[in-house]
Structures are given as structure tokens and as C-alpha cells.
Structure 1
Amino acid sequence: MTWDLLLTGGEAGDVAVSGGRIAAIGPALPRDAREVADVSGCLVTPGLIDLHTHVGPGYWGIDPDPIAWCSGVTSWVDAGSAGAYTVTGLRRVADAAAVRVHALLNISAVGLAGRTGESRDLANCDVALAVDTIQANRDLFHGVKVRIDAETVGANGVEPLRRGLAAAQACGVPVMVHIGTAPPSLDEVLDLLRPGDLVTHCSSGIAAPLGPSVRAAAGRGVLLDLGHGSGGFAFDVLEAQLDAGLRPYTVSTDLHARSLHGPVFDLPTTMAKLLAVGVPLADVIAAVTAHPAAALGLTCALEVGAPADIAIFDVREEPLTVVDAHRQVRVSPVRLVNRATYVAGRLLPPRLPAPPAPWIPLTDAQRSALDRRSQAIRDLLTTPLVGVDGLAEQFPRRSS
């Protein structure tokens, strides 16, 4: 049998791919493949799952493909960009993407068309409509998303969360709840959650989830998700949680239009922030592969028969300075650099990112960096790829 792809020299052995799935794993597999890639010395993982992103339509959304091909993220979970009214827009994104797009349905039917405020009108938080939408789109939706903070819910307190939980219960899926500025209080939010539900921004410097209610929630099986974002992660809060025996079950970026250019950048950079506070690499890998897969019932494994979603990394033993949402700095002992990303055995090709939307606030430094990057890309692409020594005469002239 001729395989489609063979990755050779990985720590777990060679990996053969056929028909979009892993066909064999083992030492010194036969080199009978259409494409052979040497990954000796590299970290080979299942394609990463980013449990909290925004790739759907609206204020926060970004295109996943220009980030995925050089970050190893093959499964993107859109966390509430779409509500019942805007599912069609998210479906178009999912159908067009080279990566796998999964989603959590916003309990507010308007989703995240705007920056905030989607649950101030409780008429938008229609439980029956949310249930019908999930049931009609089971391939896309794996849970419910509810944002609970003062701006989002206004005077409605935790009622949008109660409705999100009711919809999730009816569909047999978890809820992911965003925490932020009170009211309502963090205790009110956490006390409602069930085993298997997720708290995103779990190390938020704004919500500061450090009290007994967090320990009680984690103790009964509520899952802590990092959800970095542009304002949802603080090193000092995470360090205090680690000292108290609490650790994020899943590590996600909350990558969106306002966090893409910093402070998040991508999932490997976010993973380095866990390494910087002493979380072992194997545990960080689990938090972006096996754990998010278990949380939402997804497939993520390097095993025969599994989809051939694979990420290849260089693990460089060099310090990497990383920053949280509040400009606190730590240093990771290693840097994870993606070398290749495969979805269903297909190598994701390079893609250039679109410029930021006009409503995205950027610092002068970010704008200058984007201008320099654009110029560097232009310079690269306007320089001939090779000189005469790198060319062949494709259509030789006939000798007369």
C-alpha cells in the first residue's frame, strides 16, 4: 500500500497517513509514500484545539486560516460569536475554512454582532429558540456560551446564564460562561454551574477568581479554561491559583480581532505563558489537545484510525519573554515554533492575514509593526525567488 504521507523520525515513531486518517504508527515504517517529511527532533502532536476563539461574523471575528497554518491549531471553537439569528453567517465561515470549525451557541440570539450588551434584552435569550438551533445544527454546535459581566447583562444579573443552562440541559451539552466585571458577583455565577461546564477567563485579573467559590466549583467538576483574550488573563492571578492547587483544565486564546495583534498573538505563545509559570510541557500539551476534546466530545489523538490532524513543532531551548493582558511580564524557558500543520493529512499552505478592521484599537507601536511586516512581505514577494543557477531550461531550443 502506498501511503499519502509519511512523517519520519518522531519521538512516537513514524506516522503514516492515508485517506485523511492515520493509517499506521511505528518505528521504521516502509518509505512507501507519495510524500515523506522528516520530523526528527521535533515535537509531533495531534492538531491543537483552541477552545475559545472568535471566527464568526461580527465585531470580534477573525479569519482562522492565516493563523492556523503557522500555529498548529487545526480545530477552532468559536465561543458565542453566533446566536440563533446569525447561524448562517457562522456556517459560511465553517464551510469555507481549511481548518475544522466547531462552535458554542450564544444564548443571545443576536450573538456578538457588536462589542457587548447582547443579553441586556432578555427577549434575545430565548431558550426554546436556542434549543431548536442546536438540535438543527448538531454538527456545528457543541455547547452554549453566555457572557456574564455588568456591560453584557445590564440589570439582568445571572438570568441569561440560567437560560443558557436550561438550553444546554435540554441538549445535553455544556455551558461556557465568560466572567468579568461585577455585578453579578462571581459567587452567583459559579454556584449555578454543573460538572462539565466551563469557566473561561479563569485567571482573569478583573474577575479575580480566587475565593472559596472557585475551589468549590472546581471540586465538583466545573472546568477552568484560560481564555486569555485582550483582558482576561493575569499572571499574578494564575500564580495564586497554582499555589492553591488550581490549574486551568484547558488553555485557550480567546483569539479575536482585538487580541490577535497582542497581547495574545496565537496559541503557541499562550502555551508559553503556562510554561513561564512552571506548568510542565506535557500538561500544557494535554490542555490544548486531550482536555478540550474531552470537554466538547471532539476527536483529538495520534492513533490509528483518527483524523490526520497533526502539528509539528520545534521546541527551542531559548528564553521567550511573554506578557499578560495587564502588561505583566514573565519568561518562558522554551519557545514553541510551528514547522507544519496538517488537517486530514493535508499540509495547510501559507496565508496572509487581512488588515485589522477599522474599529479595532491599536497602539502606535502595533500599527508601526504591522506596516513593517507588510513591507517585509512585499519585499520578499517582489524579489525574484531564485537566480539563474536555480532555474532549468523548461523548453529547450532546437538546435538548427
Structure 2
Amino acid sequence: MSIASEHAETILREIFLAGVASADPLKVLAAYLPERPKGRIVVVGAGKSAAVMAQAVERAWPDVDLSGVVVTRYEHSAPTQRIRVLEAAHPVPDASSEAAGREILQAVSGLGPDDMVLALISGGGSALMAVPAEGLTLADKQAVNKLLLASGANIHEMNMVRRRLSAVKGGRLAQAAHPARVVTLAISDVPGDNPLSIASGPTVPDTADESALHALVERLAPELPAHVLDILRRTRQQQESIEPDFRMIATPAMALEAAAQKARELGVTPMILGDALEGESRELGRVMAGIALSVRNHGHPLPTPAVLLSGGETTVSIGKGPAGRGGRNTECLLAIAVALAGEPGIYALSADTDGIDGTEDAAGAIVTPQTLARAAQAGLDAKAVLAAHDSYSLFARLDDLVITGPTLTNVNDLRALLIV
């Protein structure tokens, strides 16, 4: 099958957008709503999708008396009538994050057993709903968050620490709502879809492995303030036994299945490699390139035209040296480009389904067989750029960024390598 470069890029974009569309709360949320309770309905939520999820609830229940408050990232709002929408900072919490968390806790207080709390939880909620544990300040949480982001810790490890330093995460929101029934509708952005890791699990009991937490804490100990370290070293307090009603309305696996279906419609055979691939972005890029070369040169593990699909959240360990502008998706892609060395017939797209690759304004980027040559013509050494963690700058210079703007959903990264 002969596919022109422009057509290959179009195929990749359509596959990515199909994955994103599968996680649109306005399309999928209504099917997961519970039966209405006898008493009050209070809607709360946190995450990059919180506002549009609240909008979806209002559309599904146009005549229901409900109230509540949700918090989302700045510029991720959506119009609502009955549910208040707040905005705060991500990935590092700010004063608005703390204020939002306290307002959400207040909204669920004083409820009875006939009342119901509908919790709308999505990725990003951990930073957006930030109430410090007793003895801590917001500045403490901000400092720890910055340390975690630069440490190379994966999302599960980061959330173990965040839960221990919070008055709302790790099931504490559900405790605050007791004895009301709590129903959680969630969009997963974490490998494995562990409810405890989505926004640090505000409505599910904290069952983290204490030994794993302590090992991480001791690794970070030289960088942690003494009073923060003291709290992290304490034994977790026993929580009330509350059975969570937790419903996944969108997940990375669902997004990959939608992407695979779109590939079939476009005449390309898909292979899903997994929805929870983790590790260093550049290392995963090299592995993905190796599999693509096997498909190209040997027709294994499947013949061309084919697309290799994967999800999950990788990490970028900056270390002590200076770093340029980048994100985990663009770093992965630049590693793919370097490993492929201009191999014809292989194209790649890697992007965050929330539309923002880290802190930059792009979701990700696209690699073609001409990427390295075009970079060299622009005076850019791709290997040096990769070493400097400046991948965003290279793809911006080549005009190969994928710009979607905020998608108002988040089912983690979606990677697609097209081999023709």
C-alpha cells in the first residue's frame, strides 16, 4: 500500500482524534449515572474534565434539583447552570487550588443517608483540589510537587506522596461526605486505571503499600523539608470502611480500542501494544522504533500497512543540568526519529489526549522519515536537542507540533507508529 507523506500524517491525526473523541464526557457520561436518591444531590469534582463532566450531568438531568461545585484547570471551563465551576493551577497547585478544595469539602458536609454525592474525577484533580494536611501549608505542597515532577517518579509514586500530605485525597473526601452515598464517575489518565491513582483517589480508601511509600520517601529525603518528611514517615491512620461506588466512564484502553477501529476504517491493521507503558520517554521511543523497524523489514509482528498503538504515561528525568522546552511525548518522538535515522515508510504521532504535553501549548508532535534531514537543514542537531530535553523547540521549528487546544478530557498519552 503506497501512502504519501501528507496522507500518512492525516491518518495519524484521525487515529489520535478518534481516541480523544471516545473519552468525551458529553458523549459517554449519561450512561453511567446512578438512580436518583430520595434526598439531595450534591455534585463535586476535580480534574481537567471536571467542568465538561458537570455540563454533561446537567444535560442528562435537566429537571433534577442539584447543586455543587467542581474545579478544573485554568482555561478548561465549560458553561453550567446549577453546578459552580472554579479554576485553579496545574500541575503545581496555587491558592485557588486550596480554596477550591475547601469549598468542595464544605459542599459535602452535613449530608444525610438519603443524600447522594456525585463525584466527577479526572486527571489533574490532585493539583486542582489541594487542601494541605494538618501541619502543612500550600507552599509545602507546591515545593513537594515540584520535587516530584523533577524526580523521575512515576504517577503512582507521586500520588502516594500527595495523598499522605492531603486533607481531601486518599478517601478523605468520601469520609467528609459520610453518611451520604458517594458515587464516583471517573475518567482514567493513569496506567492500570487504579481508582486510587486518579486525582489521588479522593473517594476511595488509601491502600498504598507502606513499604513502597517509605522507600520513595527515603529516596527523596535529602530534598524534603524536615516537617514534611516527619509527616510522610508517620504510620497511616486507620480510615472508616466505606465501600466505594466507582464507575469508569473513559479509560486509556477504551481510547486505544477507538483508535484501532478508526485505523481499520482507514485500511490500516492496528496492533495495541498496551495501555500502560511506562518508563523514560526516550527509552520507550527507542523500543517503539525497534518494533516499527521489525514490521517494516520483516513483517513481524504484523504485515504492513500497520499501526502500532500504545498508551500510558512516561517520565522525563531532568537531572541537575539545564533543560530546554519539552514534554514526555515530544521527547519520546525525538528519540523515535533518532533511532529510525530517516527510515522510509515509518511515521509517528505521540500526544497527550488532554491537549497539553506537560506544560507546553501542544498535545505532542509528528515524526516523518524527513524529520532529521529537515532539522539538520534548520541547523538543529537532533541528538544534542534530545540530550538537552529541548524536543518541543525542534518540533516547533519544523512546524510539526500537534496543536488541539484543551480537549476537556484526559485518558493519558496515545502513541501511534504507522508503517507503510
The alignment's TM-score, normalised by the length of structure 2, stands at 0.29
The answer to which structure has the higher helix fraction is 2
